[in-house]
């Protein structure tokens, strides 16, 4: 069977293995939101958790009975029965049955070291624990997936016994045998050799792969296993998981589909991969990894002038896949490393300078001058556009206000909560406005005062909302007198757009003001353009 004809089952364990990520704590509602997102993405199986481990997971399965999934099947995770226990009386088995999940994934020991030193049972007792647990669940009508824990370590230590655990599970009714690199230390060639040998020893049994990323090879090991015969892949979105994480499905899936030609997900849903990746980062309250393959904001970002020039002529020169295939987009960055090609690529369409080399050079020189002061425009689209407008002048820029001054006062006494008040005095044409606002800190106070001054003439200012605020020291040698770079991320509620602005100063309040002012100017000038007023 050619890869294009072969289906690879995608099994997502973000809600269980991913929830073990340091710093992540998913609420019950978070789990529902993530399950719905994974279902829309088109994964085949969603592992919801371990119903015996905590009341939250138990409640998740209970309430999922009334929340139907469109495509995916729900799986419950558990362990084989306890040593010396009757399988029908084992609390873990009872919890798995009570979950009503149509799929149950059982983890069992396949490394004789664990059998001896962790379980402290005989080899035969461990095999009985596996077989009896699988048989009970299979008899109840559940599809049973057997996760052979530490399989690759067990394979290196005692191949005969590692295989015996798989035969015990399969003989009792397991439909899929998953080889787990639980320590995350296997190498791709070891994984491939092992999977081929297991496939030969187990005949037509479905084989799966579950890799951790402790050696940085979770994705590579998973792809090696599929090429060697595995047709069931386990992983997490964004590689979330304990220690160094699990194999990252956002890299595995597009490699399988785009590079190897396998069938994964539902037809037409790969284009939602970036959206789901970023949604799960947000729900888990984690920062996006800009340099993440396929779905990161930098995955298709071009900064070097030679790169941008080549991409403008033929995108395949520096892009290994079409970014739209995974729901991402191309970005051409501007910096002191840029050439006029970067400026042309980012500014030509909107500002009509495709054939104006002098204007392109003028903008590039302005960028280089500001970056020498500590600015960075890669994550500050708003500030970059305002810079272009100011540099080109003419019809592209109109000064919306003149700043007379702003003042910010912070009052703090002993252990009492602090209060902040800001005043802003602006000149709008012939009109002078002096507004005062109290807020939660200097940035909030200044922004509220600025909005108050502008609202009467430019009501669109109320559509702008701060999403994130980041500060970075530019020249650490100056210590407490160092310049700081403030980057603010914004959400434009009217257009549901996200953009950034940047300011640099030795004064953190002034750097914040510069970033605030750029964002407001960008918002209002864009609105005026659309209204045909500029």
pLDDT reported for residue 497: 72
Q: What is the DSSP letter of 87?
A: G
Euclidean distance between CA atoms 529 and 220, whole angstroms: 49
Q: How far apart are CA 481 and CA 461, in angstroms?
A: 33
- DSSP letter string, 314-355: -GGGT-SS-GGGGT---EE--STT--HHHHHHHHHHHH--TT
SS3 40: helix
The pLDDT score that the predictor gives to residue 136 is 98
Cβ atoms of 446 and 422 closer than 8 Å:
yes
| 159 neighbors 190 (Cβ within 8 angstroms) | no
**Quick one: fold of 3-283?**
TIM Barrel (3.20.20)
Q: What residues of the chain score a pLDDT lower than 50?
A: 1, 336-337, 534
Give the pLDDT score at 337.
47
pLDDT digits (tens, 9 = 90+) for 381-414: 899 889 999 998 888 888 999 999 999 998 887 7
> Which two three-digit tokens encode residue 473?
């020291």
Reading the block at residue 142, the tokens are: 């559940």
The pLDDT assigned to 165 comes to: 98
Strands (E), 429-480: 431-439, 464-473
Read off the DSSP letter of residue 204.
T
Question: What does R_g of the chain's alpha carbons equal in angstroms?
Answer: 29
Give the pLDDT of residue 196. Answer: 98
**Distance between CA atoms of 379 and 487, rounded to whole angstroms?**
8
Q: How many CA atoms lie within 13 A of 217 on its CB side?
A: 16
184: left (phi over 0), alpha (psi -120 to 50) or beta: left
Distance of CA 31 to the CA centre of its chain: 16
User: What pLDDT is recorded for position 54?
Assistant: 84
pLDDT at 357: 80
Look at residue 49 and give its three-state secondary structure.
strand
User: What pLDDT shows up at residue 468?
Assistant: 84
Q: Pull the structure tokens for residue 507.
A: 């004064």
Per-residue pLDDT at 2: 55
Type and span of the H or E element at 206: strand 206-211
Tens of pLDDT, residue by residue over 81-109, are 999 999 999 999 999 999 999 999 999 99
Q: What is the 3-state secondary structure (H, E, C) of 181-192?
A: ECCCCCCHHHHH
Query: Taking the C-alpha atoms of 230, 235, 239 and 241 in order, what is their torsion angle to the nearest 10 degrees?
Result: -130
- Predicted local confidence at residue 279, as pLDDT: 86
pLDDT at 268: 92
Beta-sheet pairing, 464-473 with 331-332: unpaired
Q: What pLDDT score does 355 carry? A: 76
pTM beyond 0.75: no
Output the pLDDT for position 309: 54
Query: Rounded CA gap, 377 and 492, in Å?
Result: 19
- DSSP one-letter code for 260: S
């Amino acid at each position: 069977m050619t890869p294009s004809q072969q289906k690879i089952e995608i099994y997502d364990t973000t809600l269980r293995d991913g929830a073990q990520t340091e710093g992540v704590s998913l609420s019950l509602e978070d789990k529902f939101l993530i399950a719905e997102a994974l279902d829309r993405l088109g994964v085949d199986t969603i592992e919801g958790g371990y119903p015996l481990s905590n009341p939250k997971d138990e409640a998740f399965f209970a309430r999922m009975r009334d929340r139907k999934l469109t495509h995916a099947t729900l799986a419950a995770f558990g362990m084989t029965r306890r040593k010396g226990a009757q399988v029908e009386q084992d609390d873990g088995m009872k919890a798995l049955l009570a979950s009503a999940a149509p799929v149950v994934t059982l983890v069992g020991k396949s490394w004789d070291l664990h059998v001896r030193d962790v379980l402290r049972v005989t080899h035969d007792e461990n095999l009985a624990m596996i077989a009896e647990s699988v048989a009970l669940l299979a008899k109840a009508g559940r599809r049973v997936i057997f996760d052979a824990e530490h399989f690759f370590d067990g394979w290196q230590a005692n191949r005969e016994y590692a295989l015996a655990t798989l035969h015990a599970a399969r003989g009792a009714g397991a439909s899929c045998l998953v080889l787990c690199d639980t320590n995350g230390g296997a190498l791709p060639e070891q994984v491939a050799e092992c999977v081929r040998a297991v496939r030969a020893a187990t005949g037509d049994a479905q084989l799966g792969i579950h890799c951790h990323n402790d050696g940085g090879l979770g994705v590579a090991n998973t792809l090696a296993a599929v090429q060697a015969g595995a047709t069931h892949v386990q992983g997490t979105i964004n590689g979330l998981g304990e220690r160094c994480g699990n194999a990252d499905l956002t890299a595995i899936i597009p490699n399988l589909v785009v590079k190897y030609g396998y069938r994964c997900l539902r037809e037409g849903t790969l284009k939602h991969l970036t959206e789901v990746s970023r949604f799960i980062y947000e729900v888990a309250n984690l920062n996006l990894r800009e340099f993440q393959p396929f779905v990161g904001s930098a995955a298709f970002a071009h900064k070097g002038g030679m790169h941008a020039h080549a991409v403008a002529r033929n995108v395949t020169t520096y892009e290994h896949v079409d970014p739209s295939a995974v729901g991402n987009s191309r970005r051409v960055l501007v910096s002191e490393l840029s050439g006029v090609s970067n400026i042309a690529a980012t500014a030509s369409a909107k500002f009509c300078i495709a054939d104006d080399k002098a204007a392109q050079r003028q903008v590039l020189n302005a960028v280089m001058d500001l970056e020498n002061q500590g600015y960075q425009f890669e994550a500050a689209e708003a500030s970059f556009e305002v810079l272009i407008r100011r540099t080109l002048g003419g019809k592209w820029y109109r000064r919306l206000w003149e700043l007379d001054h702003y003042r910010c006062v912070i009052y703090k006494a002993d252990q009492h909560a602090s209060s902040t008040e800001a005043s802003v005095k602006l000149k709008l044409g012939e009109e002078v406005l002096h507004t005062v606002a109290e807020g939660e800190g200097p940035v909030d106070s200044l922004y509220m005062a600025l909005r108050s001054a502008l609202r009467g003439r430019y009501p669109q200012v109320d559509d702008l909302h701060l999403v994130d605020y980041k500060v970075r020291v530019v020249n650490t040698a100056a210590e407490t007198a160092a310049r700081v770079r403030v980057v603010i991320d914004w959400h434009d509620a009217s257009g549901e757009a996200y953009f950034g602005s940047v300011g640099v100063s030795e004064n953190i309040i002034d750097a914040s003001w510069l970033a605030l002012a750029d964002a407001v100017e960008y918002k209002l000038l864009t609105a005026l353009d659309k209204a045909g007023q500029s």
